[in-house]
Every structure is written in C-alpha cells, then in structure tokens.
Amino acid sequence: MAAARLGYRCHILTPEADSPAEQVSAAVTHGDYEDRAALRAFAQAVDVITFEFENVSAVGLDLLASLKPVRPSPAILRISQYRIAEKTFLNANGAPTAPWCPVETLDDLQAAVAALGLPSVLKTARFGYDGKGQATLRAPEDLVPAFEELNPKPLILESFVDYAAEISVIVARGSDGSYAAFSTVENRHRDHILDLTLAPAPLAPAIANAAQAMARRVADGLDLVGLLALEMFVDRNGRVLANEIAPRPHNSGHWTIDACPASQFELHIRAVAGLPLPAAERHSDAVMKNLVGPDETALWPAILRTPGLIPHLYGKKEARPGRKMGHVTRLFPRGGLPGAFGIAAALGPLAL
C-alpha cells in the first residue's frame, strides 16, 4: 500500500493462496520460495525485489539476485536467519549482546552452562520466532530435556537477561548511505508475542540515544540498503544489549503508519527503489496494540465503536491462537504519552 501511494505497482511472490499482500497488489505469482521456474518468471516481471518476511529461502533469493536487484541483500537475510552468524556480526560491529555460546552437543551445553551459569536461555540457531524454539534453563535437570526437545541443531545458549525493558529501533538506509531512524520504542510481550509498542520508549534520553547509535552501527556494518529493525534489551543497569535483527518492516514499527508523515513501509520502499529518504519523524506519540488470536479479534466490533482507536486488519482468513490478525494504534500529542493507567484507558475494549 505504501508502494502504491508512491506510484508503483507491486507484484507479490507467495506460496500462500489469497495472501493478505496480494489482496492489495497489482499482480501475484503463486510459487514456493525455491521454485526456480516461478522465481525466474517473477524476476522477469519486476524491476526490483524485496522481502517482508525472514523465512523466505536465501537460496531462492540468490537466484533472484542473479536476475534483478534484491534489497536488502541475500547476505543480510542469511545473517538474520542464523543466530550464530547474527550474534557474531553484532558483537564485531559495536552491538554487545548477552554472553552466548554455540551448542552442538550435550557436552557443549554442559560446558556452556558452566561458563554462563543459570538461568540461561537455550535457542535454536535457525527458525525461531515469537518465542518458538527456545527454553529457559533454570536448574541442572532442565539441560537434557531442553537439549533433546530443541531442533534443528545447532543451538545457542545465552545468559538470561533480567531486563528492565525490551526496545527496538527501525532504520532505513539508501544505497548512497543516506539514513533515517525512527524513535526508540518499548515493546511489551505476552506469551512471547508482541502485545504493545510504546512510541517513544519511556526511557532516559541517554539510553534511547545509545540504542539509536547501536542501530546505526549495525546498519552501516551490514551496508544495508532497505529497512531493518534492531531488537534490544535494557538491563537493570541501563545497559543496552542487542538481541536480534530483522531486515524488513517490523511489528514494532506499525505505529509509524499513523504517527509519522512517512511510515516504516514508505521508508522501506523508498530505500529499495532508490528514492530520497525523508527524516523518520513522528508528529504524534503512539501506542500500538496487536490483535492476536480469536479472542482479541472478536473485539473488532467494539474497537470500531471506540473513538480514537485506529484499526488495521490484515485480511488473514483464520484467527488461530497466537496468530497476529491486525493491530490498533492510539495517537497522543507529541510528548504526551500517558503512563500505564492512561494507556489502559485509551485502549478501551482492548485494555486487559
């Protein structure tokens, strides 16, 4: 929709029938992300290619990149798909993380726990999202069952961060090195799924600025062309630790559709299409609340009756538990983000 507003016609490649993106796009190719014939036909029909989902095939993207420009590059997607490469890259580029170790065998895990202590978090290196593919180890007897359950290997073990807040920064970067970053936001999760984003994060300016500087180092280090979210923790000492990158529009940036002259989606398209990047300014503060699963989606009629709630529904067919079906944004005057009670009141039927 952001691309259409800039005068572009979008062509979607997806394995899914009746996907939300194709409902609002000019053309669609249905095919698997590794279907070479579909990928070739798709590349022939378009001028430039991007992705808005991390679990696309990097091999498929390589084929596309041999035919048309792909932005961000497949190399950046590969880093984001493999936690060991991701943490190695972050640590080498001025983005400290919680201490971590790669874990291939049970012996590795025992050595890693001896080094990092408990509690700690064991994660699959690939295919984790929304808290899937990870386990918190609290006691020695947790090691074997968690190791056996988590697949595929390799895994990584990370120190448990007793965080004061989870935050993120979304940045856009053009091929000429032009750069724009949205405000640092706070993300609150429920059942490992993003529930609320507060924009801006209610943090001391020094902490919010440290997060901005870290996101810039990461984007420059990756030589990013496109848009990227950096997810971080703020620990109890106010230290910012990187957690992971997502080289695409991110759920913690959905508030920008309503609170900014140019949203994360517009900046993504501009960066990918080689257009000038405007500043990522916000005209309002905002709270974004996800609509997850059937229970929250059932509140839709009440949401529509509540003044001030800006509704977004994605057009997904089935509201399965844990599935993100849409979101709601509530705007506040700049500088006027309320505290917890004010936010709850402003969310009306969604204040749980």
Question: Do residues 255 and 199 lie in contact, with contact meaning Cβ atoms separated by under 8 Å?
Answer: yes
Question: Do residues 212 and 200 lie in contact, with contact meaning Cβ atoms separated by under 8 Å?
Answer: no
Residues 6+ apart with CB under 8 A from 105: none
| Helix 74-81 / helix 83-92 crossing angle, nearest 10 deg | 110
**Span interacting with ligand AMP, options 158-166, 170-178, 260-268, 305-313, rule CB under 6 A:** 158-166
Q: In the complex with ligand AMP, which residue's Cβ is closer, 2 or 116? A: 116
The DSSP element (H or E) to which 110 belongs, if any, is: helix 106-116
Q: In the complex with ligand AMP, which residue's Cβ is closer, 241 or 269? A: 241
Selected binder of ligand AMP within 15, 96, 117, 131 (CB under 6 A): 131
Tell me the closest approach of the beta carbon of residue 166 to ligand AMP, in angstroms: 5
**Span interacting with ligand AMP, options 38-46, 156-164, 264-272, 310-318, rule CB under 6 A:** 156-164
Question: Do residues 79 and 86 lie in contact, with contact meaning Cβ atoms separated by under 8 Å?
Answer: yes
Q: In the complex with ligand AMP, which residue's Cβ is closer, 13 or 121? A: 121
Site string for ligand AMP, 240-279 (x = CB under 6 A): ---xx-----------------------------------
**Span interacting with ligand AMP, options 45-53, 159-167, 247-255, 318-326, rule CB under 6 A:** 159-167
Site string for ligand AMP, 162-181 (x = CB under 6 A): ----x---------------
Q: In the complex with ligand AMP, which residue's Cβ is closer, 36 or 192? A: 192
Q: Does 85 bind ligand AMP (CB under 6 A)?
A: no
Q: Does 192 bind ligand AMP (CB under 6 A)?
A: yes
Of the candidates 194, 187, 179, the one whose C-alpha atom is nearest the C-alpha of residue 228 is 179
Which two three-digit tokens encode residue 106?
């049970």
**Span interacting with ligand AMP, options 49-57, 64-72, 154-162, 333-341, rule CB under 6 A:** 154-162
Question: Do residues 264 and 286 lie in contact, with contact meaning Cβ atoms separated by under 8 Å?
Answer: no
Which two three-digit tokens encode residue 57?
């095939």
Q: Which residue is nearest to ligand AMP (CB)?
A: 161
Of the candidates 215, 213, 197, 216, the one whose C-alpha atom is nearest the C-alpha of residue 205 is 213
Which two three-digit tokens encode residue 243?
């957690």
Q: What's the chain's Rg over C-alpha atoms? A: 20
Q: Does 189 bind ligand AMP (CB under 6 A)?
A: yes
Tell me the closest approach of the beta carbon of residue 168 to ligand AMP, in angstroms: 10
Selected binder of ligand AMP within 22, 108, 158, 258 (CB under 6 A): 158
Which two three-digit tokens encode residue 72?
């961000």
Question: Do residues 242 and 214 lie in contact, with contact meaning Cβ atoms separated by under 8 Å?
Answer: yes
CA count, 13 A, side-chain hemisphere, 133: 16
Residue 308, sorted as left (phi over 0), alpha (psi -120 to 50) or beta, turns out to be: left
**Span interacting with ligand AMP, options 157-165, 195-203, 293-301, 303-311, rule CB under 6 A:** 157-165
Binding residues vs ligand AMP (CB under 6 A): 98, 121, 128, 131, 158, 160-161, 166, 189, 192, 231, 243-244
